[in-house]
Amino acid sequence: MEGIQVRRVAVLRCNALGDYLMATPALAALRARFPDAEVTLLGARWHERFLTGRPGPVDRVRVLPLVDGLAGQPPDAPDGSHLPAFLEAERYDLAVQLHGGGGASNPLVAALGAGWTIGLRAADAPPLDADVPYRYYQPEVERFLEVVRLVGADGPAEYPLLALSGAERDAAAALLPGDGPWVALHAGASDPRRRWPVDRFAALADELAAAGVRPVLVGGPGDAALSAAVGEAAASPVTDLTGRTDLGALAAVLERCAVVVGNDSGPLHLARAVGTATVGLYWCGNAINAAAPTRTRHRPLLSWTVHCPECGADCSTAGHPHRPGDGCAHRPSFLGQIPVVEVCEEVTDLLAREADLRPVPVGT
């Protein structure tokens, strides 16, 4: 991209909360590399609501109309008939594709007409001006940093601290009164295979309560039934904030907690982004892509179950087309191998360290 003065950068990352947060180290690296450029995220409606006016590596969000084949794009996207006008409306000096292997996303980024394009590329995807080979198993944070290194951007793999407003922190204080320590439990995940069993979360809540810790259930409206089941199975009362917060207030609730225990889903990543210690519950394959790489504040616990608990099919072959088997249609939990005692031990250790390890919070 020699000779191109970068004043306007577009980044394609149009999916869910955890997906966005795993891209924030790369976004921060782009911001540091091009400090005078405007960084625009081509994202979803929730990005616009959550990021507009919030200090961070993204200056502006443009809500992307529906794109055929763009995996993970939220279903509330504007109608695809608006896409041609969207692509023509603005021009960029640099366009960055951080959304999958490029089958649908690389033609989309190329159609922006940017001076230089970079991104990921699977074997069957069209090229960009410069790209990184896409392979299914790679830590997502490192994957995206590898892309932005193509234009000389680099930085730490830790999530940059998310800025929270005073109003968001006030809302969290009203929802979680007193000194705690509070430990948040998130029982949801979009894929049922990534959910630790409800009875394990209930047993964990009882263990925490018996130790003088205050467990609190969190999540979005779609997690309400799971949280209710945890509360019903627990022997002791559990505070339930599931579905009672917007995303900013949820972030502030997680910041107020000493530890967050959760499946591989958005709230676990959000906890990392506000500086809270985590115990993440992962299927082994998901841990490769999404688990925190450090252990001072983050303790991923892995289940090594690779055969379906219902039918025995090998479910470890994703990303390896020459290996026999392609999984199955069953969706039981694959996290049953993780016992409650392991989670309790990690939470206890993190609670003992919490006062010395929490970073200075960032405000808006």
**Residue-wise pLDDT tens digits, 254-292:** 999 999 999 999 999 999 999 999 999 999 999 999 999
Report the share of the chain in percent with pLDDT over 90.
91
Angle (CA) 126 141 269, round 5°: 125
SS3 label, residue 259 = strand
If asked whether residues 112 and 189 sit together in one domain, one would say no
Residue 31 maps to a domain: yes
Q: Is the dihedral of CA 198, 344, 156, 54 positive or negative?
A: positive
Which residues, 6 or more positions from 237, have their beta carbon under 8 angstroms from its beta carbon? Answer: 231
Number of structural domains, the chain? 2
| pLDDT higher at 203 or 1 | 203
Residue 3 maps to a domain: no
CB 171 within 8 A of CB 182: no
Residue 362 has pLDDT above 90, yes or no: no
Residue 319 has pLDDT above 90, yes or no: no
pLDDT number for residue 355: 65
Q: What is the CATH number of the domain that holds 335?
A: 3.40.50.2000
Residue 133 has pLDDT above 80, yes or no: yes
Mean pLDDT for 40-54 is 98
If asked whether residues 102 and 241 sit together in one domain, one would say no
Identify the domain containing residue 240 by its residue range: 166-357
If asked whether residues 249 and 336 sit together in one domain, one would say yes
Split at pLDDT 50, 70, 90, the class of 303 is very high
pLDDT number for residue 357: 66
pLDDT number for residue 230: 98
Bond preceding residue 74 cis, omega within 30 of 0: no
Q: Is the dihedral of CA 63, 68, 70, 73 positive or negative?
A: positive
Q: Which of 151, 178, 212 is the last residue of a domain?
A: 151
Q: Which of 90, 125, 151 is the last residue of a domain?
A: 151
pLDDT number for residue 287: 98
Q: What is the CA radius of gyration of the chain?
A: 21
If asked whether residues 17 and 129 sit together in one domain, one would say yes
- Out of 29-33, 260-264, 313-317, pick the least confident: 313-317
If asked whether residues 251 and 328 sit together in one domain, one would say yes
Residue 308 has pLDDT above 70, yes or no: yes
- What is the average pLDDT score of the chain? 96
| Model confidence, pTM | 0.96
pLDDT number for residue 350: 97
Residue 317 CB: number of other CB atoms within 10 A? Answer: 16
If asked whether residues 130 and 236 sit together in one domain, one would say no
Determine which helix (DSSP H) or strand (DSSP E) holds 42, and give its type and residue range: strand 38-43
If asked whether residues 178 and 314 sit together in one domain, one would say yes
Q: What number of CA atoms fall less than 13 Å from residue 157's CA on the CB side?
A: 13
